[in-house]
């Protein structure tokens, strides 16, 4: 199937099952926080989740409580992302796409956080490939990034194998955390 078709299907499926993704998010964060990639990370990158994504507020809170520094992406021209520190919810600004993002401050950009929690709409658990919103932001970023990557995979994003076409620019996530 082409990615675009799958993306549309997944958006509908995720909108119809938001509550399940939210409740599984608790379990997924618990699992993540027991891993060495989490424990070893002093700096982590996540996002501000939208309504049908795995909620990231609990991730941010837990990371901060454990003394980690949290980075969030700001979308930039040419489909680039800049990662900037999370300070306070009130400091975030809504992007043209409706996503809350940090304000751009060149000196604060960190493109090499220890761990990047990669968002997505669908994940193939045999190969670790993902489908995202289609901007290509993470594929571009991960092409240059050499640290750790992980994704939280609720059941509605879980595919045993990719039923979409893999492109040569697609980048595998190092570790997927899914519900049993």
Ligand X SMILES: Nc1ncnc2c1ncn2[C@@H]1O[C@H](COP(=O)(O)OP(=O)(O)OP(=O)(O)O)[C@@H](O)[C@H]1O
Ligand Y SMILES: Nc1nc2c(c(=O)[nH]1)N(C=O)[C@@H](CNc1ccc(C(=O)N[C@@H](CCC(=O)O)C(=O)O)cc1)CN2
Q: Which residues bind ligand X (CB under 6 A)?
A: 3, 131-140, 143, 167, 169-170
**Residue 53 touching ligand Y (CB under 6 A):** yes
Which of ligand Y, ligand X, none does 3 bind, CB closer than 5 to 8 A by kind? Answer: ligand X
Angle between helices 18-33 and 57-65 (to 10 degrees): 20
Residue 85's binding partner out of ligand Y, ligand X, none, with CB under 5 to 8 Å set by partner kind: none
Three-class SS state of 178? strand
Binding mask 142-171 for ligand Y (x = CB under 6 A): ------------------------------
Q: Which stretch binds ligand Y (CB under 6 A): 2-10, 17-25, 44-52, 122-130?
A: 44-52
Query: What are the tokens at 68?
Result: 């980690």
CA atoms within 13 A on the CB side of 39: 5
DSSP type of residue 114: S
Site for ligand Y in 63-82 (CB under 6 A): 73, 75, 81
Among 52, 123, 129, 138, binds ligand Y (CB under 6 A): 138
Query: What's the CA gap between 53 and 165, in Å, rounded?
Result: 23
3-state secondary structure 51-98: CCCCCCHHHHHHHHHCCCEEEEEEEEHHHEEEEEECCCHHHCEECCCC
Interface residue with ligand Y, options 20, 69, 137, 172 (CB under 6 A): 137
> What track of x and - describes contact with ligand Y for positions 79 through 98 (by CB under 6 A)?
--x---------------x-
């Amino acid at each position: 199937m082409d990615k675009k078709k799958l993306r549309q299907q997944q958006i509908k499926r995720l909108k119809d099952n938001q509550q399940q993704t939210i409740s599984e998010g608790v379990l997924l964060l618990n699992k993540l926080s027991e891993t060495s990639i989490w424990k070893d990370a002093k700096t982590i990158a996540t996002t501000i989740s939208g309504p049908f994504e795995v909620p990231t507020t609990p991730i941010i809170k837990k990371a901060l409580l454990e003394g980690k520094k949290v980075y969030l992406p700001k979308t930039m021209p040419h489909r680039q992302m800049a990662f900037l520190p999370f300070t306070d919810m009130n400091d975030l600004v809504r992007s043209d796409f409706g996503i809350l993002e940090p304000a751009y401050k060149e000196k604060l950009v960190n493109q090499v956080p220890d761990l990047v929690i990669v968002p997505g709409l669908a994940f193939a658990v045999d190969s670790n490939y993902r489908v995202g919103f289609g901007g290509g932001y993470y594929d571009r970023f991960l092409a240059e990034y050499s640290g750790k990557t992980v994704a939280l995979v609720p059941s509605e994003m879980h595919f045993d194998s990719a039923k979409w076409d893999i492109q040569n620019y697609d980048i595998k996530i190092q570790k997927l955390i899914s519900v049993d």
